[in-house]
Amino acid sequence: MHIRLILLVAAMIAGLGAAILRLTRKKPETKLCVRCGALAMHGYSQTAESSPDDIVPLCVPCLLERLDEDYCTYDGRAVVIQPVAELPCYVFRPKDDWDEPLRSELDTLLAGLQNHCSSCTNPARYLWVNALEAGPIAKLPQKGITHTLLAPSSAHPISLCARCSVQRIARSIAGQEAGYVEVSGPRGGEDGLVTAIGY
């Protein structure tokens, strides 16, 4: 009888302690998805390096919906580097935004774009390049895609349609714990490059 009472009191004290802890613990700053109100994980913008006011918080499903729209309506062709964690942004930049060596490398790579998606045979518009770590990607603007990512793993870019590109992006970001400050999809008609980047 005594032991039961002691256990009951102990349980009550523990419960009270937990409740107090919940009340006093500071809430982390949370942003909610502007489209559905769920917990937001990423920031989404129309163009790379938008001002903070133009970057809207989105949950993962709503972000993927927007990206699907962007990738399906884009009129150019783009090299898409697999998104890796650790870099704060994952954005599209048209060819003109990059330095000359990378511009001509994009031309060379995109000349090898197949007509049909290698996964589903829809028309291909994207060249997917696998990436695992942030290190090589951080050097990519200066050293190029071939030197940092393709040559070291003897890999070739994979021709993909819009849907299959976004599916691969979805799979890649699914396991990431931290969100991107800014994500933007390809836009307009100029060829370009989608990559994780730290400004």
Residues that bind Zn ion (CB under 5 A): 33, 35-36, 38, 59, 62, 117, 119-120, 122, 161, 164
Q: Please, what is the minimum distance in Å from the beta carbon of residue 85 to Zn ion?
A: 21
Calculate the alpha carbon distances from 77 to 46, 73, 105, 173, 194 in Å.
17, 11, 13, 22, 11
Q: Considering only CA atoms, which of 195, 185, 91 is closest in space to residue 136?
A: 195
Residue type, 100: E
Q: Which is nearer to Zn ion, 33 or 193 (CB)?
A: 33
Q: Name the residue nearer to Zn ion (CB basis): 19 or 34.
A: 34
* Minimum distance, C-beta of residue 144 to Zn ion, in the bound complex (Å): 26
Distance CA 77, CA 21 (A): 53
Nearer to Zn ion, 160 or 197 (CB): 160
- Rounded CA-CA distance 28/182 in Å is 20
Beta bridge mates, 193: 79, 93
The distance of closest approach from Cβ of residue 162 to Zn ion in the complex, given in angstroms and rounded to an integer, is 8
CB of 64 to Zn ion, least distance (A): 10
**Of the candidates 155, 188, 180, which has an alpha carbon nearest to the alpha carbon of residue 78?**
188
DSSP-assigned letters across all residues of 94-129: EGGGS-HHHHHHHHHHHHT--SB-TTT-SBP-EEEE
To the nearest whole angstrom, how small is the minimum distance from the Cβ of residue 11 to Zn ion? 39
